[in-house]
Structure formats: C-alpha cells, structure tokens
Structure 1
Amino acid sequence: MSQHQSDIFTTLPWHILEAILEKLEDLSSLHSIYRASPAVFSLLHEDGTARRIIQRIMDSSMPAETRVLICKFACLRWNARLVADMDSFIEQYVNNDKYTNLPRELPLGTLCDILAASATIHYLAHAGIHEMIDRCMALEFFHTKNEDLKYMRGFGRHPTGPRERMYQEDVGAPSAVEEQRVIRALWSVFLTWELRDAVYGLSPRLNWSADEVQKLQNLHTENIWHCEQTWKGHVSGQLMEEARTMVEWCSCLFPTLPCPVERYHAAKALARRAQWQYQCNCPPPRAIDIGKRDDEITSEALSYKFVTRRLATHCISPLLHVSFRVFRCFGFVFWDQERMAALGLLPSRDGSPALPQAPRSELDMYARWVSILNADELDEIEERKEHFVPGTERPVCGI
C-alpha cells in the first residue's frame, strides 16, 4: 500500500482537515502529523494556512507568557538581522511583550522551525520532568519524632532529637501546571540559544562587533532575562530559577558539549530522528485544564516561595540564607502543591485531606528539607551565615 493510500487525511475536505488540526492539544502533535501525512503537509503549504492553524493551537493550549516567547522566537528566526547588538536585543525581545500573535508575513520555513522546536521542547520537557521526579523519589527524607521541638541546634552534624525515615509518594504524571512551567522555561532558553546561534554559531547571521560577541558569551543564558523580570516586577526570581534549572539539566543531558550553541544544535537534532519521542505514558494535558489553571501556572510555585521567604529567612530556620540552587536538581521550582505534599515537604492544599506523610509542625517541615542536603551543602550554608551582614540581603565576600 502506498503512503498516500495509507494516509486517512487524504479523504477529508481541506476545510474539515484544518478544523481538526486546530483542535490538537499542542504544537508537537501537529509536528508529528505534518511529518507523517502528505495531506497535512500539502495543507500547511497553502498560503496562510500553517500560520492560522499554529496560532489557534497556541491560543487554546498555552498560557500567554509561552505564546509571547514563541512569537519572539519566530521573529528572531525571521528577522535576526534587525538585532544590531545586545542592547537592541534586550529592547526588542526582552523588554517588549507586544508579541501576542505570529506576524502574517512569517515564511513557511520559520513556521516549520516553530513546530520542530516545539517537538524538541516537548521531548526535553518530559525527559527532564521524569528524571527530576525520579531524583525526588530516590531521596531519603527524615522527620523528627519530637513534635514539641521548637528549635534545631547543630543540625549539620548532630540533629536535635531522634529522627526516623519518612516515605514519600509519587502522584504520577506531571500536571498541566508542572508541564507548562517546564515548557515556558525551555522556550526562554531556546530563545537565548537562538540568539547565540545567530551571533557566533556555525553559520552566524549577525555581524556583531567583537566586544558585543564577548559580552554575549560572558552572559549566562538565564541572566539575559534579568532586565525583563526587573521591569515586570513579579515572579522574577522564579522565572530565572526555572531557566537555570533547565539550563543545568540540558548541560547534564549533553555533558560533552560545553557550549550553549552546541547543545542547541544537539537538542534540535532530536526532533529530526525517526524515534525522537520520549517514551512515557503521560497523556497530553487538555486545553481546558491549562485554561483553568493559567493563574497557577503564572504565579509563584509554593515550593519556591517557601524556600526563599521562609526557609532562607525565618530566624528559627536551620537553613537560614540557603540558596535555592542546592534544590535545583530536584525540579522543586516546577512542582505543584500536590506533588510537594506527596513528597512530605509541604502541607496539602486547603480543603484537601491530610496525607500520612504531612509535616506535623514547622520544625518538622524544616527537618525534612535539611535531610535533603549533604554535608558539603550544609557546610556551605554555615559559611554563608558566618559571612552574612545583618540588615543586608547578601553575604559579604561574594559567598
């Protein structure tokens, strides 16, 4: 049987096929069908059809922040020559949030680049999510037996009071909130990698001065977004922490590729493989679920808020001045409250039944977070405390 005869979409009128494609759950699904179906391939090559379908899938299945990042990525792929230097990039692509829709003038090649990038990001997102969940499930948590404990002394070497092993639960597949947070972080990383590729990749498209190239090379990927987060004034730390988490995970995925541009090309190659899809049983989140939880996706994760506003700042916390960096490899910045409660690190959502592994007191909750860290990390926290100047927000000596 020929390929055309096995393509069920060839029997459909194009207006019906277009209506079906617009109802797909995400762009990676459209990418798979586009590669497999000659009928869909032909339809998307009709003038304006691909942009219209992609835009409608974005509108129905993605939070606004992710749509903006995708539009920025498309415009940078299409009009990179308009970016004269680092300041120009920040002005056009970092501080400008008017990218709400794909331009009508986008060529088909750029639209196909969006689909390929979406497929790659879907692969990276699920591979990263499952690896970080596995790390969480491999942790050995301990909680205090003494429910009346009010303060922990000598937590690094001699924990106060007896402790016992606590067992966490796995709540299963990632929720819509968790998946969309990871996907948002990866799109921000891809956008900055695209800039690096355009400036000093294998076939640079921008003729920047040596000073501007050096400035970009010396800038960490996630720090490019610092201006945007300062300007927005909300969830700035979390957005940067999300990007840092995925940058570190990608560096672990490609350990022999130290350069961001090399990792970018290696990641994009994943979408061109015949068996590129990450093998997991996660159902695609329904668009209605994403719409209902859009506010939760864009708000601060409870785990990030707890670490930065209580664990690192509360006077009775044994991890005073702790950096979120030490928890980064576990993906805590992405997890929703249900997963953090199942791990036994945070209370359940209000109105939900209490879990057996729920923290029994504030100090018990602190003890569990302490048990995550190794001796070197605990020593680093002690060193930070010794160099911390009261009344400031940072330690001296740059520790």
Structure 2
Amino acid sequence: MDPFGRLPWFALHNILSALPDLPTLHSLHNASPDVAAFLQGNNDLFAHIVDSIMESTARERGLPPIVQRAVRYLVTIWTAQSKRERQQQDSDQNILNSLRYLAEKYSNHPTPIPTTISPSTPAAILCRLLALMTRLRCLVHASFHDMVSKALQLKIEHLPRKAAYINTRGVGPAHRPQGVPHTPVDVGPLMWIEEQRLLGSFLWIVIFYELRRIYGDFTVPPVRGETVYISSLDTAETFWKKILCGDNNTQREQIATTLQWLDIKCGGRENISSLLSSSPLPLPNTYQHRYPESTTLSDKEWETEEEWISNAFSTHGALCLWEARVSPISPLRCVDYAVFRPYGLIFWSVRRMDGLGFREAFDAGHHMWFALSFVLNQEDWDEVVKWQAERGFDPRAV
C-alpha cells in the first residue's frame, strides 16, 4: 500500500511543499501513485507546492529570484500554447511584453511576469515543468563535469610575488614571462550557487527555442526605448544579444558558454532543441544526484555570492574576464571570451576559481591577466601578440 495515501490532504501538501527541489518532487510523483493522483487532481495545490519549493528561504535551497522568474515565464508560454491549441483566445502580446523583464536591468523592478504560478495552470503543464527541471539537472551536472575536467588539465602559472616583475624567460616561443607552476585542485562537486547559474543559462536557451517554435518572427516592445525585432532566423546568441542589451554581458556570456557545450555534446546546433526536450540523455546516473555534503559554502564565501543570489548576476569569473579585457596593462584586451568558454569560468564560485588557479587573477596589476593567459594555446597567444603589435602595444614587454 502506498503510504502517502494514508495522509490527509493538508499533511501531504505540507510534506510536498517542504521537498528540497523540483526534481525530487518529480521523482516522488513518478514513484507514488497516490502523490501523482493528488497533484493531478488538485492543480491549484500543485501550483502552490511548486511555488513553495522554488521560494524556499533556507540557505542553498530553492531557486534565486531571477531563475524563478525564468521558470514562471516558461509556464506562461506553455499555458498560452495550450490555449492556442484549444482555440481559446489568449494575449500572446503580454507574453512578448514580459520577455524583456528577464534581463538583469529589470531584476529589482516590478514586472508583468507573475510572481506566482497561476492556480488554474493545468496539471499537465506542471508535470511537464517537473520533467524539464529533472532533465536540466542532468545536463547541468554533465556540463559541470566536462568543463571542470578540462580546467583541471590546464597548466597554469602564477607570477612570482615581487613588486617589480622582470621577464626572466626572455622572448621565447610562448612570449610569456617565467612563472610559478600551479597544480589545479578539485574542490569537490557542483555547489548550489554554481548549479543555479548553470540552470539559469539552460532555462534561457529553452525559452528561446519555445518562443521561436511558437511565434517564429515577432517583435518585443521597447527595450531601452527601442522596439526589438526577432527573426525566425535568429540564433540563440543573436536573440539574447538583442534582449539582454547593455550591461547584461555576464548573462549573455553564460548563455554562450552553455551553447558552446551543447553544440559539442549533441553534435550541432540543429540538435540542441531535441536534447533539451525529448531525446535520450547519454549521461551516467551520477549526473542526477546532488552532493549535499560538499555543496555548502562558508559564511564568508556566501557573503561574496549574495549579490548574485539577490539578482545581480555579476560573478567573480565575469569580473576576472572583464578586467582582463579592459585593463590598460592587460595583454589580453583583444581576446575573445570564446577562448575561456570550454572551462566554464563564468560560472564558478570563488572557492573553485581559487582551486583551479585563477584566484591570482583577482589581484591588481599583472597578476590579473597572467594566470588567465595560460588558457590560451600557442596559436591563440600568437594572435594576441600580433593583434597588440598592430596597435602599438607589445604584450611581451609587460
């Protein structure tokens, strides 16, 4: 006998609302016929349970507000699609109006995106959401393992700790000064904050494919005063570049990093939509599990991440890459972000960046770019030297 069938509805509601995440609710829905019957027979309670899990205020539980917003926006897209299929009128324009509020600029302002899932949302759509969130967790963990594995193979060097730096190596094939080798350290499994950053980027890619499939060509009302036209020929990168304009570079770079991993994983951009929604996942079961004993940040580390958790989306990796590209003393000013994408630096916590050897990059001056320069292979570095020389700046002299 299913033990959940013995519980009164309010007790079952409270138990399900206290689950740690949506994939766990999905597993319980599939494992317990009584839980499935309860959820599918009470879509208003189902919606409330999903909201309660997402909004958990316990540390390293639930979803950050901006990720919650993406989930609820996706639910509104599916609801509109369902009404279309039943030939019921729905305000598609309201959905397109809301799209711009996924941008960082609007994260702390009132938005037309619902703050809760509508109680009238069909149970079938909520079940679809649970299945997607479970699927995305597999992809999040797979991308994490792939990118961190690549980063652990890098041969990073740090500058010696001295005030005046001298090029003791001379101008050799690498055009790099003599550094101190760093041995990358694996600091453990995926942390909650890293998981949320990855999850957000996957959700925005899903939203792109859903909108393109339903609407094709469409316009988005003014983003910073200018109407945005979306073509059915737009790629995910060009789509989000139009929507996430201005100061949303971190968000765009996270999406681009995830797309690059997906391109490799599924064998081409044309297969991404299928991998995200329906095709079998060629992933070991270990990707589906969390590791609570290793995901907790220290109080000090948590403080450094709180700005992102409260919607700001700037990460230490993003700051590191941005400084390397804009600092007048950095020979990496011209480097394309794509060089760093295979290693996922835009997502990682301070602890992981430190273990991989990039903590040095947060120091001022030459330390900022030196560790990052070892991500570049010889061909990449030669291009940097050539580009800088054409502009009267010699990175070998730094």
Q: TM-score, normalised by structure 1?
A: 0.77
| Counterpart in the other structure of 2:276 | 267
- Give the 5 Å matches for 1:30-45: 30-45=25-40
**What CA deviation, in whole Å up to 9, does each residue of 1:150-188 have, x standing for no partner?**
376987834454334321211112222111111111111
| Counterpart in the other structure of 1:93 | 99
Distance 1:164 1:270, change over 3 A: same
In the alignment, does 2:154 pair up with 1:139?
yes
RMSD: 3.6
Equivalent residue for 1:183, pick from 180, 183, 199: 199
| Counterpart in the other structure of 2:224 | none
For 1:208 and 1:295, locate their aligned partners in 2 and report how far apart those are by CA, in whole Å: 34
Equivalent residue for 1:243, pick from 255, 261, 270: 255
How many residues align? The count is 356
Following superposition, the deviation at residue 148 of structure 1 comes to 4.4
SS in 2 for 1:147: coil
Distance 1:79 1:336, change over 3 A: same
In the alignment, does 2:315 pair up with 1:301?
yes
SS in 2 for 1:142: strand
Following superposition, the deviation at residue 267 of structure 1 comes to 2.7
Give the letter for the 2:276 counterpart. Answer: A
In the alignment, does 2:135 pair up with 1:124?
no
> Where in structure 1 are there 5+ consecutive unaligned residues?
201-206, 348-357, 391-399
Q: TM-score, normalised by structure 2?
A: 0.77
For 2:282 and 2:324, locate their aligned partners in 1 and report how far apart those are by CA, in whole Å: 44
Equivalent residue for 2:358, pick from 345, 351, 355: 345
State the identity as a percent.
Answer: 23
Distance 1:227 1:340, change over 3 A: same
**What CA deviation, in whole Å up to 9, does each residue of 1:277-308 have, x standing for no partner?**
6255523968xx99985423333111211221
In the alignment, does 2:328 pair up with 1:319?
no
| Counterpart in the other structure of 1:78 | 79
Distance 1:323 1:14, change over 3 A: same
Distance 1:277 1:46, change over 3 A: farther
Q: Quick check: 1:128–1:249 contact (8 Å CA) kept in 2?
A: yes
> Where in structure 2 are there 5+ consecutive unaligned residues?
57-61, 85-89, 103-110, 220-228, 394-398
Give the letter for the 2:343 counterpart. Answer: F
- Give the 5 Å matches for 1:279-298: 282-283=291-292, 294-297=306-309, 298=311
Following superposition, the deviation at residue 245 of structure 1 comes to 0.9
Q: Quick check: 1:63–1:294 contact (8 Å CA) kept in 2?
A: no
Equivalent residue for 1:221, pick from 236, 248, 270: 236
Q: Quick check: 1:95–1:228 contact (8 Å CA) kept in 2?
A: no
Q: Quick check: 2:138–2:283 contact (8 Å CA) kept in 1?
A: no
- Report which stretch shifted further, 275-284 or 130-139: 275-284
SS in 2 for 1:104: coil
Distance 1:156 1:278, change over 3 A: farther
